[in-house]
Every structure is written in structure tokens, then in C-alpha cells.
Amino acid sequence: MTSTFLSRRALVGAALAATLLTVAAPPAAMAATPSPASSTLPPLDTAALRAAISDLDHPQATAAQLLVSGEAGRWYGTAGVADRRTGAPVRQDDTFRAGSITKVFVATAVLQLSAEGRVDLDKPVQHYLPGLLPDGYAPIKVSQLLNHSSGLPDEHIPDSQRTDTPEQILEHRYDQWTPLQLVAALPEDAPMKFTPGTKQDYRGMNYVLAALLLEKVTGKPYAKVIGDRILRPLGLCHTSFPGNDPKLRGPHVHGYLAMSDGTLQDATEYNQSEAWGEGEIISTTRDLDRFITALFTPGTVLPRATLDKMFELPPPEVKMVDGSPARYSLGLQTVTVNGVPLWGKTGERYGYNSAVMATRDLQRSAVYSWTPTHRDASQGQMVLRIADAVTKPAASR
């Protein structure tokens, strides 16, 4: 097997970071620092919501769907087709790859174990996974994995393993990885990027380690832990972890990649083991809406005191490595759009871009999934339109 995991992982991070920067930067109505609570939200502007997802040319995409719910209104809409070959429309129970939304499920399971006294968030991950990380690494608290302040050095990326074109990406769609192979990409002799807890640096590797911790503490595969603790109790029957199965089973939305000559290739079939523990989940808009509603309701998934930790950012002196304000808590990310503070998580896989976000009081939640064909900063156009339509009062448009 030719190893391409590391370079593809870097591409995913770069594209997602560009999208986040587009959302959290200008216009001035957006800021990365959330308000303590959301204000009363206006009625939904359904015309604006439909317009936000209907432009599949800017950026190029083949499908989009958006589910908005909460005490201030509910709306669901779609655009495009689930399958370019058949022309089948997008349906609400069609599954899609939800990428890094996986991390919210992993963090929730870790926090459940914390509430039960089985995991100490202030203990180093090295305590739970002895010998896994190089001896020279500083102690990393479990909480520092969950809020991306671990300081882990970047994985080593040999030039021979880089995949810089969509053609190269699809050549390796069936590569298979184990969690230990992923962790082995961390360099043995590199210094920590920063002292753990002093900065934030969004890294999938943090959640590979968190999922391994789940397995070590419970003695079960992490996907089964989440299935037993979250999926089945909440009735999330369309949410799954594919493991080494590259296919999307049952009705689903296809994802496509634009090749170097502009033609589109179906990228739906893809082994997600490279995203083990941090980006492999498959779900639907309806399931993700049900999940975030239950998660944000104290006592349903987490006890109130534990849930409160998911809405706590690090101290103000802790910033992202680029100097911007910290935006990650224990399992969630936050952004304020048009004065409305939203909490949740974005996700991206090849051919897919998604998010589940909500106000803490659940006056408004939004789940979107769309299928961009180019993996670049242009994805921010769609994200920005959706965020604006979900939060801006109709009278000010």
C-alpha cells in the first residue's frame, strides 16, 4: 500500500481552516468570541434560506440541504441532485459523510466517562495510553486533546507521500489504515509545537488519541462505545461509523471531485480509516439535529455540570497559533454570526462539507450538508451565505 494519509490529512485541514477563516473574519457582524447567551431570534426568512443553498455555481457543488429548527422556527430545503447519474433528488434521510462532526461524538463519550469518574480530564493521556507517544513529549491532559491545546508536533510528511492533485487523491481511495499507524506519523524526536495548554492548534490527531483512550478505558471499539451510549439511546438510526467499508450503504448523497481538466468524478466510495476517530462518521441532517438538541439539553446526554464544560473556552491569553481568539471548547467550536453565538462543529471529507450548529438555549439550530467539487477557500462562499441566512433578521436584508 502506498501511504498518502499524511498529505491528504493536511489538505483537509487547510481547506477547512480556510472555510472557518472566511466565516469568522469580515463582515464586521461576525466575530470568533461568543456572547454569554443568545438573544431572542427573529422569524426565519425562508426566501433567504432557500437562496443560500440554491446557488450551486458559487462555489461549484452538486447538491445542498439545510435543516433549521428550534423554538424560533423550523425549515428544511434542498438543491441539486443526490446522484448525477440518476438525477435523484436529495431527501432528508439520505446519508452523507459528516467528517469532523465525529469529534463531537467522541468528546461527548469521553465527557460521559468523566462524569462517571472513569476518566480524569486533568490527567495526562500518557497515563491512559502508556508508551504510545514518544517519551520526549510533555504530559498532555485529556482536556487538552479535546480543546486542541495539546501542542503535538505536526505529523511527518515525506515528499513521496504527498497527494497534490484530485487524481492522486482518488488513486488512494482504498488505502487502509490502523489507528496505531496514524499515531506513528508523529515524529519521535521533534519538539512540542508549544507547551500544552498555552495555545490552540486544530488537529485531527488529538481525536485519534481521544478515541484510543475511549477504547482503552472501556475495552470496546470506540464506535461501539458511541453506539451504545449515544446513537441507540437517541434513536440515531441513520448515523454510523464505517470503519474500513468504503461504501455509503442505503440512500445517500454522492460526493464529487473536479479533476484537473474540470471533469467531475464520483468520490463517494472512499475508505475512511484515514480519518479514524476524528472524521469518519456518516449521518443525516435529521439525526444531527436530534443529536445537538439532546446534547444541549442538560441531563439528556450529559449532566449539567459536565455539559457546561462544553461551553467553556480557554482563558483569553490562550489563542490560536495564528494569534486569533481561541474558538474550541471541549468538543465544540464557536462563532458569533450577526450577533448570534453559535456552538457546534463543522466537517469536511472529499466531496462533502457539513456542519451542526445551535444557540446554547436551542432557540435556533442549523444542520447543513453540501457537496463542493473543489477543495479550496471557495467553500467559504456557501458557508457564509448559510450562516448569514440562519441568523440575520429579515428586515435588515
366: left (phi over 0), alpha (psi -120 to 50) or beta: beta
- The residues pairing with 65 across neighbouring beta strands, listed in sequence order, are 78, 369
Number of domains in the chain: 1
CA-wise closest residue to 210 among 292, 333, 116, 103: 103
Taking each helix axis from N to C end, the angle separating 379-391 and 46-54, rounded to the nearest 10 degrees, works out to 170
- Domain of 344? 5-396
Residue 14 reports pLDDT greater than 60: no
CA-wise closest residue to 222 among 285, 291, 279, 148: 279
**Which H or E run contains 349?**
strand 340-349
Residue 379 reports pLDDT greater than 70: yes
Position 158 confidence tier, pLDDT thresholds 50, 70, 90: low
* Catalytic-role residue among 7, 38, 69, 100: 100
Q: What angle do CA 177, 179, 182 make, to 5 degrees?
A: 75
Can you give the pLDDT at residue 39?
Answer: 55
Weakest mean pLDDT among 88-102, 159-173, 241-255, 315-329: 159-173
Spatial distance between the Cα atoms of 92 and 84, rounded to a whole number of angstroms: 17
Diameter of the chain measured on Cα atoms: 59
100 is catalytic: yes
Give how far Cα 130 sits from Cα of 145, 212, 317, 345, 385, Å.
16, 12, 31, 30, 46
Residue 13 reports pLDDT greater than 60: no
Mean residue pLDDT of the chain comes to 90
Position 392 confidence tier, pLDDT thresholds 50, 70, 90: confident
Segment 262-276 shows an average pLDDT of 97
CA-wise closest residue to 339 among 393, 276, 288: 393
Segment 156-183 shows an average pLDDT of 84
Residue 269 reports pLDDT greater than 60: yes
Position 160 confidence tier, pLDDT thresholds 50, 70, 90: low
Over pLDDT 70: what percentage of the chain?
87
Can you give the pLDDT at residue 42?
Answer: 80
Segment 250-257 shows an average pLDDT of 98
Structure confidence by residue, pLDDT tens digits, 278-321: 999 999 999 999 999 999 999 999 999 999 999 999 999 999 99
Segment 166-177 shows an average pLDDT of 92
Weakest mean pLDDT among 26-30, 190-194, 202-206, 389-393: 26-30
Judge contact between 76 and 329, C-beta under 8 A: no
CATH number for the domain spanning 41: value is: 3.40.710.10
206: left (phi over 0), alpha (psi -120 to 50) or beta: alpha
pTM: 0.93
Identify which has the larger pLDDT, 396 or 168: 168
